């Protein structure tokens, strides 16, 4: 019987993305051998260097080339000299939008040996997911500016929530909770201040909850929810928010769980109509790029999320368990985690442990 095969588009991008992506691939390769599947990789050098050369972050047929892959594995995009809005809108945003990656998913989990900025918190206290709506809501392009430069000047930008858009991200959050031990979903709202869209969000949340009687629910206004992330991270299991609230929580969540170098993320099209994209939370880190000291764990963990999406759950679980075990046993770690190891040392240690089992 032919082995299962997954086609992966690889975009290392800029800066430390070029250093962490190979380590992500090293671990993916070890997992593929051990768990018996093939990864067919296609490499793209699209980056700010491409922009400097061609005036574009990716070629005109870039999206068509990516469309044939099962997933996209990305490093980081952005480099001094190219404005961030150019690199972002030239590569990441078209992928997220045109491939309808309507879920942005970030695990927030305190790994052993990672130092949380919160005092007296251990791995058992911080283990939740932030699910962010990634296509509509507050980040709409409906609005404008009138009477510019005059006393009557005004600006307006509208939040757009559709039933389809709200329901599908809520459903994803509940389905995710069903796979977890605690089975709890928390909704981020602000229906006391934002009086049309947020009550609608709350209404759809209550409606969706009826389909999942086993799931416990609660909801908080975004302001106090941010405080609870810091004071009571142990309350949370799956937290779902609109585009803006999810954006805020999806940076705060990984921050309470320690170094940015370990944080992973996924942009998911759950129906698999289009490829999904997996990338670390961090950027290209120009301050440490070229020194080969970047922590590759965020990239490697993103690779594990990709395997889970592709149906290789056993391999995904193995990678995460291996990272946790190596950190707990005092394995090599980069400087951001208080060690001296280089990017490649950490990647090799994890890959070898995954291969050994």
Considering the rule CB under 6 A, would residue 294 count as an interface residue with ligand NAI? yes
Residues touching Mg ion, count (CB under 5 A): 2
Residue 298 contact partner, candidates Mg ion, ligand NAI, none, CB within 5 to 8 A by sort of partner: ligand NAI
Residue 308 contact partner, candidates ligand NAI, Mg ion, none, CB within 5 to 8 A by sort of partner: none
Considering the rule CB under 6 A, would residue 303 count as an interface residue with ligand NAI? no
Cα 173–chain centre separation: 14
Considering the rule CB under 6 A, would residue 284 count as an interface residue with ligand NAI? yes
Q: Which residues pair with 43 in a beta bridge?
A: 10
Q: What do you get for the CA distance between the two ends of the chain, in Å?
A: 24
Structure tokens at 338: 């208080």
Q: Closest approach of Cβ 299 to ligand NAI, in Å?
A: 7
Give the list of residues 6+ apart from residue 348 with CB closer than 8 angstroms, or none. 23, 26
Q: Which residue has the tokens 């997911």?
A: 129
Q: Closest approach of Cβ 156 to ligand NAI, in Å?
A: 27
CB atoms within 10 A of CB 41: 15
C-alpha angle 115-120-121 in degrees, rounded to nearest 5: 65
C-alpha angle 272-43-354 in degrees, rounded to nearest 5: 75
Q: Closest approach of Cβ 65 to ligand NAI, in Å?
A: 19
Nearest to 316 by CA among 278, 271, 269: 278
Nearer to Mg ion, 175 or 251 (CB): 251
Considering the rule CB under 5 A, would residue 279 count as an interface residue with Mg ion? no
Pick the piece of the chain touching ligand NAI (CB under 6 A) from 145-153, 198-206, 240-248, 284-292: 284-292
Q: Which of residues 217-276 bind ligand NAI (CB under 6 A)?
A: 260-261
Considering the rule CB under 6 A, would residue 78 count as an interface residue with ligand NAI? yes
Please say whether the beta carbons of 158 and 140 come within 8 A.
yes
Residue 284 contact partner, candidates ligand NAI, Mg ion, none, CB within 5 to 8 A by sort of partner: ligand NAI
Spatial separation of the C-alpha atoms in residues 157 and 148, rounded to whole Å? 15
C-alpha angle 184-186-189 in degrees, rounded to nearest 5: 165
Residue 247 contact partner, candidates Mg ion, ligand NAI, none, CB within 5 to 8 A by sort of partner: Mg ion
Q: Which residue has the tokens 């999904």?
A: 276
Nearer to ligand NAI, 276 or 334 (CB): 334
Residue 49 contact partner, candidates Mg ion, ligand NAI, none, CB within 5 to 8 A by sort of partner: none
Residue 96 vs residues 75, 88, 275, 318, 344: alpha-carbon distances, Å: 15, 11, 10, 28, 29
Pick the piece of the chain touching ligand NAI (CB under 6 A) from 120-128, 173-181, 204-212, 279-287: 279-287
Q: Using CB under 5 A, which of 19, 100, 247, 336 touches Mg ion?
A: 247
Q: Closest approach of Cβ 312 to ligand NAI, in Å?
A: 24
Q: Which of residues 43-62 bind Mg ion (CB under 5 A)?
A: none
Phi/psi region, residue 183 (left: phi>0; alpha: psi -120 to 50; beta: rest), is: left
Nearest to 74 by CA among 102, 97, 52, 96: 96
Binding residues for ligand NAI, rule: CB under 6 A, are 16, 76-79, 84, 92, 260-261, 279, 282-288, 294-295, 298, 334, 336
**Which residues make up the interface to Mg ion (CB under 5 A)?**
247, 251
């Amino acid at each position: 019987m032919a082995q299962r095969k997954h086609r992966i588009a690889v975009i290392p991008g800029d800066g430390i993305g070029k250093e962490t992506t190979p380590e992500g691939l090293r671990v993916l390769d070890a997992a593929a051998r051990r768990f018996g599947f093939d990864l067919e990789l296609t490499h793209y050098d699209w980056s700010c260097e491409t922009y400097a050369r061609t005036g574009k972050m990716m070629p005109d047929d870039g999206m068509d080339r990516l469309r044939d892959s099962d997933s996209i594995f990305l490093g980081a995009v952005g480099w001094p000299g190219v404005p961030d809005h150019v690199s972002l809108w030239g590569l990441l945003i078209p992928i997220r939008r045109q491939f309808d990656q309507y879920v942005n998913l970030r695990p927030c989990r305190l790994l052993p040996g990672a130092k949380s900025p919160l005092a007296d918190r251990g791995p058992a206290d911080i283990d939740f997911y932030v699910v962010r709506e990634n296509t509509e809501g507050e980040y709409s392009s409906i609005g404008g500016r009138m009477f510019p430069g005059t006393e009557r000047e005004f600006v307006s930008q509208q939040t757009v929530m559709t039933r389809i858009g709200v329901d599908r991200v809520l459903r994803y959050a509940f389905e995710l909770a069903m796979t977890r031990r605690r089975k709890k979903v928390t909704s981020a709202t602000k229906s006391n201040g934002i009086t049309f869209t947020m009550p609608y969000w709350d209404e759809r949340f209550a409606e969706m909850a009826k389909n999942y009687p086993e799931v416990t629910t609660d909801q908080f206004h975004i302001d106090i929810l941010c405080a609870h992330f810091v004071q009571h991270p142990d309350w949370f299991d799956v937290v779902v928010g609109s585009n803006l609230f999810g954006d805020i929580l999806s940076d705060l969540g990984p921050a309470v769980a320690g170094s940015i170098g370990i944080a992973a993320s996924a942009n998911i099209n759950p129906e698999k109509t289009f490829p999904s994209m997996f990338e670390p939370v961090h950027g290209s880190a120009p301050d440490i790029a070229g020194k080969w000291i970047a922590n590759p764990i965020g990239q490697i963990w993103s690779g594990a999320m990709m395997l889970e999406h592709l149906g290789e759950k056993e391999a995904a679980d193995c990678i995460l368990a291996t990272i946790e075990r190596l950190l707990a046993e005092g394995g090599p770690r980069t400087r951001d985690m208080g060690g001296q190891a280089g990017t490649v040392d950490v990647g090799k240690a994890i890959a070898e442990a995954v291969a050994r089992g």
